[in-house]
Amino acid sequence: MISSVLPTYARAPLSFTHGEGSWLVEADGSRYLDLGAGIGVNALGHANPELAQVLSAQAGKLWHVSNLYQIPEQQALADALVAATFADTVFFTNSGTEACELAVKMARKYWFDKDQPERIEILTFEGAFHGRSSAGIAAAGAEKLTKGFGPLLPGFSQLPFGDIEAMRAAVTDKTAAVLVEPIQGEGGIRPMADADLKALRELCDETGALLILDEVQCGMGRTGRLFAHEWAGINPDIMMVAKGIGGGFPLGAVLATENAAFAMVAGTHGSTYGGNPLGCAVGAKVMEIVSDADFLAEVNRKAGLLRQKLEGLIAGHPDIFTGVRGNGLMLGLICKAPNMDVVNASYAQHVLTVPAADNVVRLLPPLTITDDEISEAVARLDAAATSLEG
Ligand SMILES: *Cc1c(COP(=O)(O)O)cnc(C)c1O
Centre of ligand 1 from the C-alpha of residue 61, in Å = 30
Hey, is 351 helix, strand or coil? strand
Torsion sign over Cα 371, 372, 377, 379: positive
Out of 41, 94, 97, 360, give the residue to mutate to test ligand 1, the one with the largest number of ligand atoms within 8 Å of its CB.
97
- Residues 104 and 251 placed together within one structural domain of the fold: yes
- Residues 55 and 116 placed together within one structural domain of the fold: yes
The domain spanning residue 374 has which CATH number? 3.90.1150.10
DSSP state of 192: P
Q: Are 50 and 288 in contact (CB under 8 A)?
A: no
- Residues 43 and 56 placed together within one structural domain of the fold: no
Give me the domain span that covers residue 78: 51-290
- Residues 27 and 169 placed together within one structural domain of the fold: no
Ligand 1 atom closest to the CA of 97, numbered from 1? 9
Task: Point out the domain boundary residue: 269, 290, 311.
Answer: 290
In a domain, 4, yes or no: no
- Residues 217 and 354 placed together within one structural domain of the fold: no
How long, in residues, is the chain?
390
Centre of ligand 1 from the C-alpha of residue 261, in Å = 22
Question: How far is the C-alpha of 211 from the C-alpha of 190, rounded, in Å?
Answer: 19
Nearest Cα residue to atom 15 of ligand 1: 217
The domain spanning residue 93 has which CATH number? 3.40.640.10
The DSSP element (H or E) to which 376 belongs, if any, is helix 371-389
Centre of ligand 1 from the C-alpha of residue 7, in Å = 20
Give pLDDT tens digits along the chain (390 positions): 999 999 999 999 999 999 999 999 999 999 999 999 999 999 999 999 999 999 999 999 999 999 999 999 999 999 999 999 999 999 999 999 999 999 999 999 999 999 999 999 999 999 999 999 999 999 999 999 999 999 999 999 999 998 889 999 999 999 999 999 999 999 999 999 999 999 999 999 999 999 999 999 999 999 999 999 999 999 999 999 999 999 999 999 999 999 999 999 999 999 999 999 999 999 999 999 999 999 999 999 999 999 999 999 999 999 999 999 999 999 999 999 999 999 999 999 999 999 999 999 999 999 999 999 999 999 999 999 999 997
Out of 239, 241, 243, give the residue to mutate to test ligand 1, the one with the largest number of ligand atoms within 8 Å of its CB.
243
Centre of ligand 1 from the C-alpha of residue 87, in Å = 20
Residue type at position 21? G
- Residues 30 and 112 placed together within one structural domain of the fold: no
pTM, rounded to two decimals: 0.98
Task: Point out the domain boundary residue: 290, 323, 343.
Answer: 290
- Residues 318 and 363 placed together within one structural domain of the fold: yes
Centre of ligand 1 from the C-alpha of residue 243, in Å = 7
Q: What count of other Cβ atoms lies within 10 Å of the Cβ of residue 44?
A: 25
- Residues 335 and 213 placed together within one structural domain of the fold: no
Task: Point out the domain boundary residue: 232, 258, 290.
Answer: 290
Into how many domains does the chain fold? Answer: 2
The DSSP element (H or E) to which 56 belongs, if any, is helix 49-59
In a domain, 285, yes or no: yes
Centre of ligand 1 from the C-alpha of residue 241, in Å = 9
- Residues 241 and 100 placed together within one structural domain of the fold: yes
- Residues 168 and 200 placed together within one structural domain of the fold: yes
- Residues 84 and 228 placed together within one structural domain of the fold: yes
- Residues 281 and 187 placed together within one structural domain of the fold: yes
Question: How far is the C-alpha of 289 from the C-alpha of 301, rounded, in Å?
Answer: 17
Which residues have any ligand 1 atom within 6 Å of their CB?
95-97, 129-131, 181, 185-186, 214, 216-217, 242-243
